[in-house]
Amino acid sequence: MCGITGIYRFDKKKIDKEILLSMNNSLIHRGPDFGNIFLENNVGLGHRRLSVLDVSEKGNQPMKSSNDKYIIVYNGEIYNFLDIKNTLLDCNYKFRSKSDTEVILNSFQEYGNKCFSMFNGMFSIAIYDIIIYKQVPIIS
């Protein structure tokens, strides 16, 4: 199983990158194949990857949506992701990977919070909306 980490500072102060890296690296035993973080002012997301479905780097996380609006970190398994992917293909979504992570991200992009009721599986997900965030003032 992969591992995810995250920090959100309600006081809007910037996150210390070293703290987020330390949190993420503490989960290396859960995801020895790849690790990375996303950091933007008072929001930080981290992911440690155990490659299962798509072992290529295209399945690495944090993953950005095709419309550049969302960032996701995810751990788990969506058993019906291929069915959902086929529905999204019918809606003209393109996929860069074979991962269920990208299916979740595109589902969220298409259906919003309603997508979660479509998922059959076990999962923990954090999705960050970059566009809304850019409209919120940051305290340095």
Which positions are annotated as active-site residues? Answer: 2
Distance (Å, rounded) from C-alpha 78 to C-alpha 76?
Answer: 7
Among candidate residues 47, 29, 30, the one with its CA nearest the CA of residue 38: 47
Phi-psi region of 12 (alpha: psi -120 to 50; beta: other; left: phi over 0): left
Amino acid letter, 30: R
Q: How far is CA 100 from the centre of its chain?
A: 11
Task: Return the SS3 of 10.
Answer: coil
Any idea which residue has 């996701």 for tokens?
A: 72
CA dist., res. 28 & res. 18, Å (int): 16
